[in-house]
Structure 1
Amino acid sequence: MKFNIKDVAQKAGVSISTVSRVINSSKPVKQKTKEKVLDAIEELGYRPNAIARSLKVKHTKSIGIMTPDIANQFYPEVVRGIEDVANMYEYSIFLCNTDLNEEKELQYFAELEEKQIDGLIFMGNHVSKELRKEMESADIPVVLIGGKAPGIPSVTINNEKAAKDAVDFLLNQNHLRIGIITGKMKDPMMGQARLKGYQQALEEKGIEPEEELIIEGGYRYKSGYDGAKKLMALKVPPTAIFVCSDEMAIGACRAILEDGYEIPKDVAMIGFDNVDISGKVYPSLTTIGQPMYEMGAIAMRLITKILQKESIGALDIILDYEVIEREST
């Protein structure tokens, strides 16, 4: 049986990152802890990969990318921006899909650290306490895309204001009963910030947000589909819905059309992201356009600046967005 670094960590009762540091001699580790790791390595017969066994080098010219799900249409365009700038500076990339699973995030971070990456770009709206601790103890520059964490450079948009603008757009079309399908509520951007923007827009118009019109979704097509089914089953359905991602919005459109409603005659719809398919479906989707490619390109450029000891200016880079009006409104 072939054992991996995770097996060694479990055997020694330490984190994967600690095992990585013992193998690479990249950070000081207490002697007692080091001995436990070495004993586990010997007992399991674990053989680190070639990079981990080699002498510590100054640069490997490699960058790690941790993304929630490359199949989600938002992320490929961001990764393309990263990759194009990485190629310009002759960096290779390692791409990891985390599925927003905190254990996976920790495992991938340790594996990327073992590969001695020069920097990490983390895509996801939430950095767990455990991952933040590992990031702080590793000597690896990190840049966030789409989220924020104190002391870590980030590239994002003002999600709260963008959500408010989306709902204001619907209010200006005389919709007074507006539903929302959020991201996961533990998500500080797609969940919390965009919900806050929705609530603020309604409150400024003198409308009290109703709990029954707020549906927690997720990130994918089915959660939008299910959310719209719930909203349209209400005794008084909404006349418009703000959906916090285009992929969910497309699912919501399918549910509404299945129920015999017309878009936008009976129900108007606005999404978020402006992924490529949003302009190709029928009816085409009104949405908040995020500069996805630019997010990736700028994040990668920040990594190169940090590695070259250049000033990066502001820690948080806030990019512009736009309301793109199409057939769904």
Structure 2
Amino acid sequence: MTNINDIARLAGVAKSTVSRYLNGGVVGEETRLKLDNIIKETGYTPNAFAQSLKAKRTNIVGAIVPRLDSFAASQILIGIDEELRAENYQLLISNTSQTIEREIESIYTLAKQKAAGIILLATEVTPAHLEAFKKINIPVILMGQQADNIHSVIHDDYGAAYEMGKYILSKGHKKVAYLGVTERDISVGIKRKEGFKKAMEEHGSCEVRYYETGFKLEAALAKASEVIETYRPSIIVCATDNIAMGTLKAANLLKVKVPTELSITGFGGYEVTTIIHPTLTTVKLYFKEAGQHAAKGIMKLIKEEIIPPVTVSKFKIIEGESVDRK
């Protein structure tokens, strides 16, 4: 394989001259033409990562994700990567395994690696996050959460949950359970719950109980089993598709028929919800498009262009087979 030393030898110039040429520095016209021809003839491709580390501003954008085994995260990353590649930017992913300390550490690490910008798929935003954003002094976009003076790409969690509330009411359900998550997560834990609660309050003539579980299927399975046995709702509205699938599993284990004895809804629009039985009625969020919005936004911020403080992604209610009319 041809390397920078080979290019320098063939051109009869110093390695530093080739490096300067590759990084857009000034070289003589004769030398530039000679290097142009040699690089074309040899098919030499510079190491973009190594190049970028030498530059004051790299072509690298860091994405910090809470977990890699998430459908939402994978789709968002695909959207980010496609947009960045189209503009000759590279994506560097940092997985934090849902650990706040590792999130903060990743922010500082990416800054030390001279990332041009950071996209953070945040589950919550703490004072430590805000302090880190101020210290690193490079563009940051939050995905899924909002914070003062930080650009964000969010889903319309409140509006989507409100519409789901109206949808299940239109199906005649009057004994309702809502299975949500911790309110430390503003978007999923608070906004979805508040949007749903608003729809219930406007109707006023149904019984609703609110419960909390974890994001993982196992936690949802345990909590949903408890809710089904103690409350016997006609429908369980779940804050995520993962929780909905845990609830469906609980119903199957308890021999409760879905949807005739218990209806279930989700939130997210994961691909798996279209192949399980019964297929899941859910709110489809456009994760890939949201990732594209974030990538376009971070590139504009890197170029010191103005973008809206908040970009809201679209949603759509997808009717599956998991909701019965009462």
Task: Give the TM-score category using the shorter length.
Answer: 0.7 to 0.9
Is 1:319 paired with 2:313? yes
**Larger deviation: 76-85 or 178-187?**
178-187
Q: CA 1:55/1:123 → structure 2, altered by over 3 Å: closer, same or farther?
A: closer
Deviation of the 1:271 alpha carbon: 0.3
Instruction: Tell me which residue corresponds to 1:243.
Output: 238
Normalising by structure 1, we get a TM-score of 0.79
**SS of residue matched to 2:55:** coil
Instruction: Tell me which residue corresponds to 2:58.
Output: 60
Instruction: Tell me which residue corresponds to 1:146.
Output: 144
Normalising by structure 2, we get a TM-score of 0.80
Equivalent residue runs for 1:155-304 within 5 Å: 155-207=153-205, 210=208, 213-234=209-230, 236-304=231-299
Given residue 319 of structure 1, which amino acid in structure 2 is its aligned partner? S
* Residue of structure 1 aligned with 2:108, choices 107, 110, 122: 110
Given residue 293 of structure 1, which amino acid in structure 2 is its aligned partner? K
Contact 1:80 1:296 in 2 (8 A): yes
Q: Write the distance in 2 (CA, Å) between the matches of 1:105 and 1:189.
A: 18
Contact 2:66 2:123 in 1 (8 A): no
**SS of residue matched to 1:179:** strand
Contact 2:268 2:285 in 1 (8 A): yes
Instruction: Tell me which residue corresponds to 1:26.
Output: none
1:74-130 C-alpha deviation (Å, 9 max, x unpaired): 110111000101111111122112233211111111211111111000112321111
Instruction: Tell me which residue corresponds to 2:123.
Output: 125
Q: Write the distance in 2 (CA, Å) between the matches of 1:94 and 1:282.
A: 37
Contact 2:53 2:114 in 1 (8 A): no
Deviation of the 1:217 alpha carbon: 1.6
Q: CA 1:73/1:55 → structure 2, altered by over 3 Å: closer, same or farther?
A: closer
* Residue of structure 2 aligned with 1:306, choices 291, 301, 309: 301
Q: How many residues align?
A: 274
Given residue 68 of structure 2, which amino acid in structure 1 is its aligned partner? I
Q: Write the distance in 2 (CA, Å) between the matches of 1:292 and 1:209.
A: 33
Q: Write the distance in 1 (CA, Å) between the matches of 2:309 and 2:155.
A: 14
1:53-85 C-alpha deviation (Å, 9 max, x unpaired): x98732211111111111022110111000101
Over the residues paired in the alignment, what is the CA RMSD in angstroms?
A: 1.8
Instruction: Tell me which residue corresponds to 1:42.
Output: none
Runs of 4+ that moved beyond 4 A: 207-210
Contact 1:100 1:124 in 2 (8 A): no
Q: Write the distance in 2 (CA, Å) between the matches of 1:226 and 1:94.
A: 36
Given residue 293 of structure 2, which amino acid in structure 1 is its aligned partner? I
Unaligned runs of 5+ in 1: 1-50
Q: Write the distance in 1 (CA, Å) between the matches of 2:132 and 2:244.
A: 35
**SS of residue matched to 1:130:** helix
Deviation of the 1:227 alpha carbon: 2.1
Given residue 226 of structure 2, which amino acid in structure 1 is its aligned partner? K
Contact 1:106 1:131 in 2 (8 A): yes
